[in-house]
Chains A and B, each alone.
Chain A
Amino acid sequence: MGVGIAVGLSGFAFGVTSAGGGLTVAQTCALSLLVFTGASQFALVGALASGGNPLTAAAGAFFLGVRNAFYGLRLSQLLALPRAVRPFAAQWVIDETTAVALAQPTRRSVRIGFTVTGLSLYTLWNLTTLLGAVGADAIGDTDAWGLDAAGPAVFLALLAPMLKTTMERAVAVAAVVLGLGLLSVLPAGVPVLVAALAAPAALYVEGRRRPGSGGRPGTGHGAPGEGR
Chain B
Amino acid sequence: MTIWIAIGVTAVGCYVVKLTGLLVPAGVLERPLVRRLAALLPVALLAALTAQQTFADGRLLVVDAKAAGLAAAAVALLLRAPFLLVVGAAVVVTAGVRAMTG
Contacts and interface: CB of A to CB of B under 8 A. Distances in A.
A156 B5 CA distance: 33
Given A149-B66, A195-B44, A196-B44, A66 B17 contact: yes
A105 interface: no
Contacts of A202: 40
A199 B44 contact: yes
A61 B8 CA distance: 12
B63 to A, nearest CB: 11
Secondary structure at the B interface, as helix, strand, loop or mixed, is helix
Contact of A27 (B3, B46, B51, B95): B3
B100 interface: no
A176 B22 CA distance: 26
B44 A146 contact: no
Given A86-B22, A172-B44, A192-B52, A23 B95 contact: no
Interface string A26-37: 010011001111
Contacts of B17: 62, 65-66, 68-69, 72
B37 A152 contact: no
B83 to A, nearest CB: 3
A16 interface: no
Nearest to B32: A214
A10 B77 CA distance: 19
Contact of B69 (A66, A146, A173, A217): A146
Nearest to B25: A76
Contacts of A46: 58
A110 B15 CA distance: 22
24 contacts: A6-B83, A9-B87, A39-B49, A46-B58, A54-B6, A55-B6, A65-B13, A68-B18, A71-B18, A72-B23, A72-B24, A75-B22, A77-B29, A93-B22, A146-B98, A152-B54, A156-B74, A159-B46, A171-B44, A179-B49, A183-B56, A214-B33, A217-B36, A217-B39
